[in-house]
């Protein structure tokens, strides 16, 4: 998994509003994508999300 394990504060959507919770960077959110600190978000931009996109039916090419 991605994420450095650093404690971060994230906003999660509740039924009527949003609340702030403390999670570790790399934890999977209820929405399926991982919670990441800003740094890891930059590092991991375009990684696991591509796999999700693929599962959602989007096509993308491996180019090495
Ligand atoms: Zn991190």
Distance 43 CA to ligand 1 centre (A): 9
Measured in Å, residue 42 CA sits from the centre of ligand 1 at: 9
Q: How far is the CA of 62 from the centre of ligand 1 (A)?
A: 26
Smallest Cα–Cα separation from 10: which of 31, 53, 52? 31
Question: pLDDT value at position 46?
Answer: 65
In the chain, what are the domain boundaries?
Answer: 7-55
> From CA 40, how far away is CA 25, in angstroms rounded?
8
Whole-model pTM? 0.57
Q: How far is the CA of 2 from the centre of ligand 1 (A)?
A: 8
Cα(15)–Cα(41) distance, rounded to whole angstroms?
A: 26
Could you list the pLDDT tens digit for every one of the 64 residues in the chain?
578 999 999 888 889 999 999 999 999 887 777 889 999 988 877 666 666 667 777 665 666 6
């Amino acid at each position: 998994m991605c994420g450095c394990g650093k404690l971060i504060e994230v906003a999660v959507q509740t039924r009527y509003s949003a609340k702030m919770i403390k999670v570790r960077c790399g934890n999977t959110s209820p929405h399926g994508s991982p919670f990441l600190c800003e740094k890891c978000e930059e590092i991991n931009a375009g990684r696991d999300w591509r796999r999700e996109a693929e599962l959602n039916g989007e096509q993308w090419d491996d180019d090495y």
